[in-house]
A and B are shown apart, each in its own frame.
Chain A
């Protein structure tokens, strides 16, 4: 089973700053299989990035994804108030079919 480890657990930043979130896989994974989600309290997750670097429909261009192999990054170039949320990475494997990281909470400093 591939384990995804996200860091940091909590990230405290101010609006306008740049956020860099990390997702590390326990073994090499295909970039095609890596996705990022945003979840705000009481809401369902929202797909931000798929295929490691492709923005989902309607996602602002301040969100970008990068990485390959075992190390992947979600970057938010300039934080807006609505960006403070929990972020999850996810990969599609074989067994289990999908796994999620434990999440990074992005909070207002």
Chain B
């Protein structure tokens, strides 16, 4: 079964750091671009960051650029998101998502999400 499982969410104070992980299974992880998408409580979806299949191919939303770092470990089938200098507005459910195959730009597989709360 194709599956993504996020972990690492929790409560953190403003200015703090948190690391999220996403364990992939059921597909050849190294062959697919991956992204993080977040959803603040009661709000819509916001793309946060993405990585292509090769190291160094990373992109970020302006809202997190310079504070968040995405990485992938293809040997462990795991996607990471390191979040530093967290702000209240970063409070959201964070989803990892797999891009479809070549030429397919939709996210065809999503994890169940992990909640990040930034509050003092």
Whether the pair B44, A96 counts as a contact (CB closer than 8 A) is no
State the CA gap A88–B107 with chains docked (Å).
12
> Which residues 17-66 of A sit at the B interface, judged by CB distance below 8 A?
32-33, 35, 37, 39, 44-47, 49-51, 56-57
Interface flags for B93-110 (1: CB within 8 Å of A; 0: not) read 001000010011111101
Whether the pair B50, A88 counts as a contact (CB closer than 8 A) is no
Residues of A within 8 A of B110 (CB): 44-46
State the CA gap A98–B46 with chains docked (Å).
8
State the CA gap A94–B112 with chains docked (Å).
27
Residues of B within 8 A of A49 (CB): 106
A68, CB-defined interface residue at 8 Å: no
> Which residues 31-86 of B sit at the A interface, judged by CB distance below 8 A?
35, 37, 44-47, 50, 59, 61-62
Residues of A within 8 A of B44 (CB): 88, 100-103
Chain A CB count within 10 A is highest, among B62, B103, B108, for: B108
Whether the pair A33, B105 counts as a contact (CB closer than 8 A) is yes
Chain B CB count within 10 A is highest, among A33, A57, A92, for: A92
State the CA gap A45–B45 with chains docked (Å).
9
Partner of B106, one of A56, A95, A97, A101: A56
B111, CB-defined interface residue at 8 Å: yes
Interface residues of B (CB under 8 A from A): 35, 37, 44-47, 50, 59, 61-62, 95, 100, 103-108, 110-113
Interface residues of A (CB under 8 A from B): 32-33, 35, 37, 39, 44-47, 49-51, 56-57, 88, 90, 92, 95-103
